[in-house]
Amino acid sequence: MNGRYRPMSSNTDNETVIVGAGPAGLTAALVLARYRHRVVVVDSPHAPRNSASGGVHGHIGLDGAAPAEMRSRGWKELSRYATVELLEADVESVRTAGSGRFGVGLDNGDIIEASTVLLATGVIDIHPTQVDGFSACWGHTVIHCPFCLGEENADRRWAIVVDNAELAALSAVALRAWSTDTVAICPESMPGIDGARTAAHSRGGDVIAGTIRRLHHRQGSLYAVEFDDGRTLERETLVWTPPQRQQPVVARTIDELNLTVDDGGFVSVDDTRCTNVPGLYAAGDLASRWKQSITASAAAGATAADAIHVSAIQRAVRT
């Protein structure tokens, strides 16, 4: 494919490519726009991770807004800033381009060169594709986080899928704010399962061992869980947090630029959201397993943008 080579501007200090236009990338773009930086935001045309959700919750001013509405409002607000360009494309590579600069390769072959890059691609949830009905219920009655969708599922019969005895023992208490009828579903081979069951009973819960084969539902509304051995359990809401992996472009960048990651494969960043490669920042879900939310991602994007601005000033002072 023959792509174009695109230096962003003649002012090489104030230019950033942001990869991904979720809450982290869009917030960073807005903050950088207010600092009057040149910014190119590149967002994939594919549906983002939270697209299954009927409404995102817990972000003031936008509680319950559809994911697509949040994004379209963000794009509209950014389009008012002359220094911001929004592109719909998949970023395929982020490489160093000499003199501390980066080349960001798009799927149409274009390469955008910039002094700073912010990775804000989010992550990919790895759905258990062997479980029939999972995708239909995902984001509605199969929820990855009670904060996000617990209120919408409150006062129903819940189960949580866990493989850790301590969590199984605690689950009835931990989820009581949303349901007084919660059981934990665990693998038969989980160490400590008997102790977890005894503790759960004393707290008004239960621990059920088994491998889930099918989720019975009506248009995404769960009513029963079926196990490998044919047993069924009437449940209306399942808390199931699947494992995650990085977007392919981030996985490639980790390899090619030797980015440091934590034990779970999340990109390691300092307090300013800078990676171990100067000029390359990472904000949002891709850099945090435990603080994944709209608000946390937006805050991380804003922090990165502030740091990018300060860094540009420092470069200008040095030259």
Ligand X SMILES: Cc1cc2nc3c(=O)[nH]c(=O)nc-3n(C[C@H](O)[C@H](O)[C@H](O)COP(=O)(O)OP(=O)(O)OC[C@H]3O[C@@H](n4cnc5c(N)ncnc54)[C@H](O)[C@@H]3O)c2cc1C
The residues of the shown chain that bind ligand X, judged by CB under 6 A, are 19-25, 42-44, 46, 48-50, 52-53, 56-59, 90-91, 120-122, 125, 139, 144, 148, 247, 249, 284-285, 292-295, 297
Tell me, what amino acid is at 174? A
Nearer to ligand X, 64 or 278 (CB): 64
Distance CA 265, CA 167 (A): 22
Distance CA 29, CA 208 (A): 47
**Adjacency order of strands within the sheet including 102-106:** 5-7, 111-114, 102-106, 91-96
In the block, tokens 């990855």 appear at 144
Nearer to ligand X, 21 or 208 (CB): 21
**Closest by CA position to 219, among listed 139, 154, 160:** 139
Closest CB 218 distance from ligand X, rounded Å: 19
Nearer to ligand X, 19 or 307 (CB): 19
Closest CB 44 distance from ligand X, rounded Å: 4
Closest CB 100 distance from ligand X, rounded Å: 23
Would you tell me how many other CB atoms lie within 10 Å of the CB of residue 147?
13
Closest CB 43 distance from ligand X, rounded Å: 5
Nearer to ligand X, 143 or 169 (CB): 143
Closest CB 113 distance from ligand X, rounded Å: 17
Nearer to ligand X, 49 or 197 (CB): 49
Closest CB 187 distance from ligand X, rounded Å: 23
Nearer to ligand X, 77 or 90 (CB): 90
Q: Are strands 158-161 and 237-239 parallel, antiparallel or unpaired?
A: parallel
Q: What's the angle, vertex CA 178, arms to CA 174 and CA 183, rounded to 5?
A: 60
**Closest by CA position to 134, among listed 232, 207, 212, 243:** 212
SS3 229: coil
